[in-house]
Amino acid sequence: MEQVAESAIDDIVRGAVHFGSGGGGEPHLGRQLLTAAVRQYGPVPLVQAGSLAPDALVLPVVSAGAPYALLEKAHGVHEAEALRAAVEARAGRECAAVLPVQLGSANVAVPLAVAARLGLPCLDADLMRRTLPSIDMTLLRLSGHPVPPITLVGCTGALVEFSSGDGAVLGELLRAVMPGLGLVALASAYEVTAGACARLGVDGSISDCARIGAALGAVSPGSEAGYAPFLRACGGRMLCTATVAELVQHSTDGWPRGVVSLNTPEGFARIDFQNENLIVSRSGTVLATVPDLISLADAETGSLLQTTDLALGQEVHVIAGPVDDRWHTPEGLDMVGPRAFGYAVDPVRFDGTGDLTAAGPR
Amino acid sequence: MASPSVNLGQLLDLGLLKRYEVLGGEAGLRRPVRVVVVGSTIHEISELAAGSVVVFGREQLTLDDLAMDIAIRLAGSAGLSGIIAARTPRQVPLVTRRLADRFALPLIGVDDIAPAGVVAAFDPYVRAPEIAGLRVLGDAARRFQRPPANANALTSSLSATLGEPVALIDAESRFVAGDPEVHALLGTCPTAEELGGPHPVAVTVRAGEADVLLQPVQVDPAGLAVYWIAVRLPGSAAGVLLEPIRRAVAIAALSFAVHVAGDAVRVEREHRRRSLLLNEILEQPDDPGRRTVERATALGWRLAGWHTAVQVQVSHAPSAVRLSALGAELEEQLAERGVTVTLVERAEGWVFWSTAEAEADAADPGPLTKRVNTALAAVEAEHPGLRLCAGVGGAHAGTAGIGRSADQARQAVLLARTTRRPAAVEHIDAVSARRLLAGWYGSAPLRGAAADLLAPLQDADPSGELVRTLRCYLDCQSSAKAAGDLLGVHRNTVMQRMDRVTQLLPADLDDPDDRLAVHLAARAVDVQWEDPA
């Protein structure tokens, strides 16, 4: 895939929902945002990290904040330019391309739109290979790369910079400043070059979204068999078909958390979520956990759903899919395994197998 | 070994956990509990013995946690009898509750939990369920060491001992004290005959959704039950836990019987004292001794002034009514109507009098008669089948006036008895002609002659229909139509009966003397006379 033209937007955004694992934002907004940018500035060129000069500076971009707030106050041109200016001023050189930090319907669309506005190409890559709730949960950091400097540009023009600090601490600080910035900010982190990206081996993210999105479009809802094209494309499997029996939500600690109770023919199933779906279990047996992807598809339309949008009585398919293998290493699981989210359960992969690495002595 | 065991439902019913909620797995509340343990991790659940109840503190496991689902599954497979854990402000997911239902594993949510405390509280009852009974029995023995002061004290104490609602009902299934809902629950379940029958014994009756234990209160161990104690039994009151409740209630019943008996003795003694005093006053009306006056004054009796005496009698009483208690009831009812008096028990019933400063105040007996009438009616309404009547004497002055008015009241009550109305009250002055009759009715030999006169009718018709028809016919000035209307029969029926009466009677109804004698006899004949002699 060489560029993102208007015709490709539907597939890319639809496919990105799969990497949202039940979170990542409502796809309609991302689609509108990106379509507007492409119409105004033309198609966004996609480049592979290896095709740029190894020491070329790239601009990692992520939309920080609540997706519903983004719906009210989308990022403007000025924020993209302010972010670029801040990053370039600190590095003392120009950015060669935009780098998406994570995959998700909003966070694929926003970096592409930013690239369009800035007239930069976008790397066909990302740093998480899925949506995760914190900017420090990246494969880049897993490989030892420091998170700071972090730059935030709020919708009011305020600019915040954390030039150093531990990744986890910075994650907390970021969330702390978000309300002051208006809950919406364009963010960048990691001083990273095209060469570092190439070494990390995270190419093909946007293309994957497009491919999976096209497969999702080919799904014929009505039967589980109709999902074969999608399951083939994402390598996942359908765990069960269920009716939504209850949705308990609470956000006492600032994170949208909750439990979905699903009525399945084999008994009640449960999805524990914090932004994203983290664990699916049935009758006290864990079926799949983070870091693998857990999605819910509307049985009527075949489209993937945001967990917080579920309605009682809605019929859904529960689909689990694999994620980058590096997340399944002990270090990866320490960062984004179920225990990292406060669940005292061992990780289970989308296909029901355990993580051997996790079962050993820790 | 088939040792007695408790289940979690019973343990919860003991009230050892202050605020708890059964979140799921209710079907398992009847599983026997072998041991209660503190839980540390969910993975050790599989190693616990079947029949265990595991208690988790807030730090170990909370109810909305995913790990709770795993704990329920493990506990279900290991045959545990329940999980007790801390509630959080967050909702317990439906899936968790349904999972507990599926395994019939009771899931109990508690607000504030110290697992070791819960284990310590439950442990004795699990190891030796009889202990739960001993606690109840010990408590009952302590509380009912002294008889309760009244019915309310009984019901509240017993309810506190058992932790269950308690009501006290009388032998006619009327609510007396305690929790009205328990009484309502009983409905018509035990009939008045069952409660009032001989040889009362404790029974358990099924009333709606609950079992109700009924324990008789007997003052005389061989006699009837004067009251019944009704206790709604908790669902857990079965097996080893039921017997102690039965015994505790029996202790309470015994203790209350002592109170009732003591009360009766006190009332009896009081009545006796009043009765003796009145006799003294009546015997020496002109010169009551100083001591007599003092005692009368102490009782609130006034010897000076204008006295109007009232005599009350029982015309008919069903066996269940305790006559000794009626005096007090009458006093209460009169007091409610502004007539504050002390009733004095006499051989023919009760006497009391009201006193006015001046003759004019005492002259009009209307208001008093009315009050006595409604008071009698109120007491009758309390005891189905009971018939009371009263006579009111004229107003007379001074100490001697008490006796004079009382004599008139006694004559008036004879009149009242002949009227056969409920709560009949007659005043001696109301119709002077009645005084004539009162004298006649008061004569036993004349009443004997009257009975002889009507004997053929009684023999021919023991039901009394003929005598009633005769009386009514004569009361209606020999009008068959009017008598028929009163009796609710056709005039031809009255005529037929009168033909029969005429044939049977040894008297000629066309003769004015005979007719008067027959009329008097007919009015006097059915009354149960109690001669002072």
Q: Which member of A248, A268, A286 has the closest CB to residue B98?
A: A268
Average pLDDT, chain A: 90
Predicted local distance difference test score (pLDDT) of residue A222: 84
Alpha-carbon Rg for chain B in angstroms: 35
- Check if A198 contacts B (Cβ < 8 Å): no
- Cα of A319 to nearest chain B Cα, Å: 19
Average pLDDT score over chain B: 83
Beta-sheet pairing, A122-123 with B203-207: unpaired
Q: Is A345 at the interface with chain B, CB within 8 A? A: yes
Point out the least confidently predicted range of A155-159, A171-175, B33-37, B116-120: A171-175
Tokens of B473: 């016919």
The stretches of chain A forming alpha helices (DSSP H) are 6-20, 27-41, 67-72, 77-91, 105-118, 139-142, 167-177, 194-200, 205-217, 228-234, 330-336, 356-359
Topology at the third CATH level for domain B444-524: Arc Repressor Mutant, subunit A (1.10.10)
Q: Which of residues B250 and B237 earns the better pLDDT score?
A: B250
Do B6-128 and B131-260 agree at the fold level? Answer: no
pLDDT at A51: 95
Start-to-end CA distance of chain B, whole Å, equals 75
pLDDT of B18 = 81
**Residue ranges of domains in chain A, CATH in brackets:** 3-205 (3.40.1610.10), 234-359 (2.40.390.10)
Superfamily of domain B131-260: GAF domain (3.30.450.40)
A–B CB contacts, 8 A cutoff, strictly below: 63
Does the beta-carbon distance from B95 to A269 stay under 8 Å?
yes
Q: Which residue of B has its CA nearest to A278?
A: B66
CA–CA gap between residue B66 and residue A344 (Å, rounded): 8
- What confidence tens digit (pLDDT) does each residue in A300-356 have? 999 999 998 999 999 999 999 999 999 999 999 999 999 999 898 999 999 988 765
Q: Do A281 and B69 touch (CB under 8 A)?
A: yes
- Residue-wise pLDDT for A262-272, tens only, equals 999 999 999 99
What is the secondary structure of B419-443 as a DSSP string? Answer: H--TTEEEETTT-HHHHHHHHHHT-
What pLDDT shows up at residue B451? 81
Please give the ipTM for the structure prediction. Answer: 0.88
Mind listing the pLDDT tens digit for each residue in B175-195?
888 888 888 888 766 666 677
Burial of B484 (0-12, 13-18, 19+ CB in 10 A): buried
All residues of chain A having their beta carbon less than 8 Å from the beta carbon of residue B66 are 259, 270, 272, 279, 281, 286, 343, 345
Per-residue model confidence as pLDDT tens digits over A90-126? 999 999 999 999 999 989 999 999 999 999 999 999 9
For chain B, what are the domain ranges?
Answer: 6-128, 131-260, 285-441, 444-524
User: Which residues partner with A270 through β-bridges?
Assistant: A261, A281
Q: Of A316, A301, A297, whose CA–CA distance to A231 is shortest?
A: A297
Q: Is the peptide bond before A148 cis (omega within 30 degrees of 0)?
A: no
For residue B131, give how far its alpha carbon lies from the nearest alpha carbon of chain A (Å): 37
CATH fold of B285-441: Alpha-Beta Plaits (3.30.70)
The per-residue pLDDT for B235 is 66
Q: Which residue of B69, B88, B91, B92 is the best one to mutate when testing the A interface, meaning the one whose CB has the most A CBs within 10 A?
A: B69
Give the per-residue pLDDT at A97.
96
Chain A environment of B70 (Cβ under 8 Å) = 281, 284-286, 345
Q: B6-128 is classed in which CATH architecture?
A: 3-Layer(aba) Sandwich (3.40)
Amino acid of residue A282: R
pLDDT tens for each residue of B106-159: 999 998 778 888 898 888 888 877 776 777 788 888 889 888 888 899 999 888
List, for residues B253-283, the tens digit of each pLDDT value: 999 988 888 887 887 787 788 888 888 887 7
Query: For residues A359 and B197, which has the higher predicted lDDT (pLDDT)?
Result: B197
State percent of chain A over pLDDT 70. Answer: 96
Query: For residue A112, what pLDDT is reported?
Result: 96
For residue A272, what is the nearest residue in chain B, using CA coordinates? B66
- Quick check: A346 contacting B, CB < 8 Å? no
pLDDT in tens, B203-238: 888 877 778 888 998 888 777 888 889 988 876 666
